Amino acid sequence: MIAFVINSATKAAVSPLKGQICRGLPKNPSFAASTWLGQAALSTRPRSSQGRGRSGVRESAATRARAPVCVQTSDVAMRVRSIRDLQDAEIRGKRVFVRSDLNVPLDGKRITDDTRIRASVPTIKYLADKGAKVIVVSHLGRPKGGFEDKYSLAPVAERLSELLGKKVRMAKDCIGDAVATEVAAMSPGDVVLLENVRFYPEEEKNDPDFARKLAANADLYVNDAFGTAHRAHASTEGVTAFLKPAVAGFLLEKELDYLSNAIESPKRPFAAIVGGSKVSTKIAVLEKLLQKCDTIIIGGGMVFTFLRARGLKTGSSLVEEDKIELARVIEEEARKRGIELLLPLDVVVADKFANDANTKVVPVEEIPDGWMGLDNGPETTRMIQEKLRTMKTVLWNGPLGVFEMPNFAKGTFAIAETLAEITQNGCITIVGGGDSVAAMEQSGKADKVSHISTGGGAALELIEGRVLPGVAALQRA
Ligand SMILES: Nc1ncnc2c1ncn2[C@@H]1O[C@H](COP(=O)(O)OP(=O)(O)O)[C@@H](O)[C@H]1O
Ligand SMILES: O=C(OP(=O)(O)O)[C@H](O)COP(=O)(O)O
């Protein structure tokens, strides 16, 4: 059982409740300490030293295993059953629908970073070892709502087979006869991966009929998809109306535990770096981050919507026209609150979206028509580095440039280096998001930060204080 005590605004009011929930948690005799999150592939060095609990007391694997997870993020107490609360008899021979986030970066069919797959393995393995028939469900990318070969999960099935050391069969669909046939042929311990659930537009619409079809071939539900927990979709939310029990997997549990605690009362100054290309999702979060952070550093594709809000020209850079006004409001709000909101001073611009483009470094006030900003300039990188060295907690989501192309990777990798450096000097550093983690891995510094999170948008929304729909659904179930 995981208990979430939501909103730390009034600690005095929350603490007794938190204690009550912790004390009231049932113990699960069937839980084996060796299956605890220590097996998860993610690097997690919470607080000042690994292996220390919230109290600072060193925990044994066994105490850590039995300690209920109490997390503060918002105003209501939430109880979420975890996979560890299931008795063996509830698992053995059962068809378990496991929602994982296997949305990994790909270069064609080649997986360029398998962090999310590795992080999903402990839950899948635990269930398979206990004799479940494990049906893994995920999305990949943002297909337009029908089959697209480039978004097939087939390469993921192969990698998952390697990591599990057993064949993972791939169903051609995620609902209907293809799945029913595949599942009917399963034996206890088998693992099947369904095809990309976003090949149906009903997934993102959280269509109840589609959720019912997804649930049709399973007996119970495990949500382990932290990276997608901020989406109220059929496979993360709707399906819980049809599958009971509905519980959290090890990864979801671990992420919620770590992130909620890290930001419950962050060591200050606290900075968030927000970049990447999902501008419309993440810009909305910034308004709330103003209430949590001391400094917000804007990077990547997010920059240009802000520059336009300042009345600057941005050439052919990525801009979300309908978010320009929001960017203006956020900057104004930051000013009023005395929160530092840093935008680049200079950018690397290119005359096309390609590694072999012509490039130059220009001040942000001088982006030429027809050119696009694809990386931070050197002056900006220096400014960010100096700022980060003054921080005690840093959360980073979203690459600061198109790091997949070597000519636009400098700004991102420089920040990855700096995060490693400040972690060594005692700063808590959290990096989240599929591409941000890939960048961290490529820089060779992933094991040098405090926590690698499998969620970018999800981590931001959690820190913002929202109840993630994928988690709330487990509470209701
Ligand atoms: N200036 C930019 N213009 C366009 N795309 C950018 C820019 N900077 C970064 N990106 C892209 O943002 C993508 C990652 O964004 P996002 O999905 O929001 O991050 P994450 O997966 O870490 O949450 C990367 O593919 C990167 O190439
Ligand atoms: O990659 C993801 O989010 P992230 O880029 O915020 O880490 C998740 O798989 C969610 O994907 P979505 O933002 O297309 O819903």
Q: 182-218 as b/e, with b when 16 or more CB fall inside 10 Å?
A: bbeebeebbbbbbbbbbbbebbbebbeebbbbbbebb
Asked if residue 251 belongs to a domain, the reply is yes
Among all bound ligands, the one having the nearest atom to the CA of 236 is: 2
Q: Is 433 labelled a binding residue?
A: yes
Q: Tell me whether the omega of the peptide bond preceding residue 245 falls within 30 degrees of 0, making it cis.
A: yes
Flag whether 444 is in a domain.
Answer: no
**Does the residue 337 lie in any domain?**
yes
Query: Which ligand 1 atom is nearest residue 278's CA?
Result: 18
| Least distant ligand from the CA of 374 | 1
The per-residue DSSP string of 110-128 comes to EES--HHHHHHHHHHHHHH
DSSP tally for the chain: helices H, then strands E: 17, 20
Q: How far are the Cα atoms of 154, 158, 461 from residue 169, in angstroms, in the given order?
A: 9, 9, 34
Tell me the best of 274, 435, 442 to mutate to test the pocket of ligand 1, counting ligand atoms within 8 Å of each CB and taking the most: 435
* Cβ(81)–Cβ(248) below 8 Å: yes
140 annotated as belonging to a binding site for a ligand: yes
Does residue 345 sit in the same domain as residue 410?
yes
User: For residue 441, which ligand has an atom nearest its CA?
Assistant: 1
Clarify whether residues 109 and 29 are in a common domain: yes
Q: How many domains would you assign to the chain?
A: 2
Work out which ligand 1 atom sits closest to the CA atom of 303: 1
Options 249, 315, 398, 434, the catalytic residue:
434
d(CA 171, CA 189): 17
Say if residues 153 and 139 touch (Cβ distance below 8 Å): no
Q: Is 99 annotated as a binding residue?
A: no
Identify whether residues 236 and 311 lie together within a single domain: no
Q: Could you tell me the two tokens for 186?
A: 């399963």
Within 6 Å (CB) of ligand 1, which residues are found? Answer: 275-278, 300-301, 318, 373-374, 397-399, 401-402, 404, 433-436, 456
Please tell me whether 358 is known to bind a ligand: no
Query: Per the residue annotation, which of 18, 130, 278, 466 is the catalytic one?
Result: 278
Residue 90 inside a domain? The answer is: yes
Same domain, 200 and 277: no
139 annotated as belonging to a binding site for a ligand = yes
Asked if 221 and 247 touch (Cβ cutoff 8 Å), the reply is yes
Residues 290 and 260 in one domain: no
Q: Name the pTM for this structure.
A: 0.85
In this structure, are 208 and 348 located in the same domain? no
Looking at the fold, whether 421 and 304 belong to one and the same domain comes out as yes
> What Å distances lie between residue 182 and 99, 126, 169, 175, 243, CA to CA?
17, 21, 8, 11, 19
Catalytic residue among 45, 116, 410, 448: 116
How high is the pLDDT of residue 43?
42
**pLDDT at residue number 476:** 82
433 falls within a domain: no
In a domain, 250, yes or no: yes
Ligand 1, pocket-test mutation among 277, 282, 303, most atoms within 8 A of CB:
277
Alpha-carbon distance 292 to 339, whole Å?
10
Are 236 and 272 within one domain?
Answer: no
Q: Kindly state whether residues 416 and 475 are assigned to the same domain.
A: no
- 151 and 280 belong to one structural domain: no
Active site residue 457: yes
Q: Are residues 244 and 372 in the same domain?
A: no
Q: For position 62, what pLDDT does the model report?
A: 30
The predicted structure's pLDDT at residue 2? 59
Amino acid code (one letter) for 390: T
Q: What is the sign, positive or negative, of the torsion defined by CA atoms of 12, 14, 20, 23?
A: negative
Residue appearing with tokens 């064949």: 167
Residue range(s) defining the domain that contains residue 342 = 268-426
Q: Report yes or no on 461 lying in a domain.
A: no
Are 471 and 375 within one domain? no
Pocket test for ligand 2, best of 100, 103, 114, 274 (most atoms within 8 A of CB): 103
Please give the Cα distance from 467 to 473 (Å, whole number). Answer: 10
CATH at residue 87: 3.40.50.1260
How many Å apart are CA 170 and CA 159, to the nearest integer?
Answer: 12
Distance CA 466, CA 292 (A): 13
Q: Is 432 among the residues known to form the active site?
A: no
Query: What's the 117 CA to ligand 2 centre distance in angstroms?
Result: 14
Cβ contacts of 29 within 8 Å, gap of 6 or more: none
- Asked, for residue 380, whether it belongs to a domain, the answer is yes
CA of 222 from ligand 2 middle (Å) equals: 19
436 is in an annotated binding site: yes
User: 342: helix, coil or strand?
Assistant: strand
Distance 376 CA to ligand 2 centre (A): 23
Please provide residue 188's backbone torsions phi and psi, each rounded to the nearest 5 degrees.
-55, 135
477 residues of the chain, pLDDT tens digit each: 555 433 333 222 222 222 222 222 222 322 222 222 222 334 443 323 333 222 222 223 332 232 333 343 443 345 689 999 999 999 999 999 999 999 999 999 999 999 999 999 999 999 999 999 999 999 999 999 899 999 999 999 999 999 999 999 999 999 999 999 999 999 999 999 999 999 999 999 999 999 999 999 999 999 999 999 999 999 999 999 999 999 999 999 999 999 988 878 899 999 999 999 999 989 989 998 999 999 999 999 999 999 999 999 999 999 999 999 999 999 999 999 999 999 999 999 999 999 999 999 999 999 999 999 999 999 999 999 999 999 999 999 999 999 999 999 999 999 999 999 999 999 999 999 999 999 999 999 999 999 999 999 999 999 888 899 999 999 887
